[in-house]
Amino acid sequence: MINIKTSLGAIFCFVLQLNLFALNNNSSDKILPQKNSEGKLFYFGNALKNNGIIINTTLAYNTETGYGFDMNSASNATINSNTFSAVKPTYFSVKLPEGNYQIEVVMGSSEKQTNVTIKAESRKLMLDQLSIKKGKPVTQIFNVNVRTPKIDDTQNVSLKDREKDIFNWDDKLTLEFLGEVAIQSIKITPKDNLTVVYLAGDSTVTDQDVEPWASWGQFITNYFDNTVVVANYAVSGSALSSFKGGNRLKKILSLIKKGDYLFVEFGHNDEKIKGEGNGAWGSYSTLLAEFVQSAKDKGAIPVLVTPTQRRAFNENGTLKETHGDFPAAMRAVAQKNNIALIDVTKMTTELYETWGDEPSRKAFVQYPANTFPGQVKVLEDNTHFNSFGANEIALCVLKGIRELDIPLKKQIQKEVPNYNPKKPNYISNWTLPLSDRFEITKPDGN
């Protein structure tokens, strides 16, 4: 006797397989069963694979597919037998929900040596100029935080107009590939067990979305091991009060968990808030204590970071103190509340004085006219860093972490050397490829 249900089921499965076969053979991107239904796996090239999404054309990103080459960079990529290659900045985006993700990138060419730099979201440095030998593929793993402004059904982070179109606050993960690139595959896996380092701060901390501006928060990502992810909520122009008022602290506290960290660096803009009850020993100290206690209440570890110095020299080559009592007030809050503190004010004083007046310019956004597209005037900023300067500040913060009694110091990559601000690096040895997105208008704040 024929089992009608079984026969109908078999026919249905057969028809479904035929439809899938037709779809895959008529589509430029073949979607094969994924072993990890929660993650995403992309293969580049024409070679047959057992699972994942095969991308065999330079597909431009769109919201319907939810993946593809982004920022009009599809024409920069070339699809080969088992890689995509590029020599100009190339962006690949994947639509993802808010969360922390581990990214596994397999790189290398069978035809030539390559050199790969990877930035994520708003220019967070993830891989710095890795040289890969011909025929010797390399796998690199790093973690990226993806977020949206939503806190709950009734509350959102208040974004500034300049933030609304940047990578950090959209609904996708964007990877930027620079150098002489050959990428074989990208695997993206949600990770809930990472140590999250939350950053609260101003323009000297935030992920600056465009060149030539940069901050230490987007360079420190390159130095932690793959058990850590950095979630940078800092925003240009912010003081403690506006950071809290814009619901950024509330957003962090809705996510932070036991064992995570909250790094807090403010001062540049808090100095401008005048009136009774304000100042270093007033609202600034009160709000610092509130920020760190809020983190402690969640079981997280707060770390206070004194503000980076402005580049302002006395005639005798020493640095002027432009932050008044604010660094001292932060030190006092840390001592009173038994909170870890990294004295970046002290380290950047040593750093700039070691460089000297003229060489220190090379760490800041100071460039002659026409250095960048659309830049008709000289750029001369003594507060905001370029990529070289931002990396030096990140190394100062790492030095501070290593000197603290916190577990995070063991999660710095072992190969990262110790840093001494009295023996700094110089821009003559700095070769990080520039992104191809520029803005001449300086960030908010000073």
Question: Is 97 within 8 Å of 184 (Cβ atoms)?
Answer: no
Is 380 considered catalytic here? yes
- The Cα-based distances of 326 to 7, 233, 394, 443, 445 in angstroms read 78, 21, 21, 22, 16
In the block, tokens 């990262």 appear at 416
Secondary element (H or E) of residue 94: strand 90-95
Distances (CA, A) of 398 to 158, 227, 329, 401: 30, 16, 22, 5
Question: Which of the following is catalytic: 7, 81, 131, 380?
Answer: 380
392 catalytic residue (yes or no): no
Helix axes 344-355, 387-402, angle to 10 degrees: 130
**DSSP-based three-state secondary structure for 350:** helix
Catalytic residue among 211, 384, 387, 435: 384
Active site residue 110: no
The amino acid at residue 44 is F
CB 269 within 8 A of CB 205: no
C-alpha to C-alpha distance for 254 and 149, rounded to whole angstroms: 12
Please return the burial class of 437, using the count of CB atoms within 10 Å of its CB with bins 0-12, 13-18 and 19+: middle
What is the C-alpha separation between 324 and 278, in angstroms, rounded?
A: 14
Distance CA 273, CA 170 (A): 31
Please give the structure tokens belonging to residue 48: 């047959």
Catalytic pick among 85, 93, 122, 203: 203
Q: Give the burial string for 236-264 (b: 16+ CB within 10 Å, else e).
A: bbbbbbbbbebbbbbbbbebbeeebbbbb
Give the other-Cβ count within 10 Å of 399's Cβ: 16
**Residues marked as catalytic:** 203, 380, 384
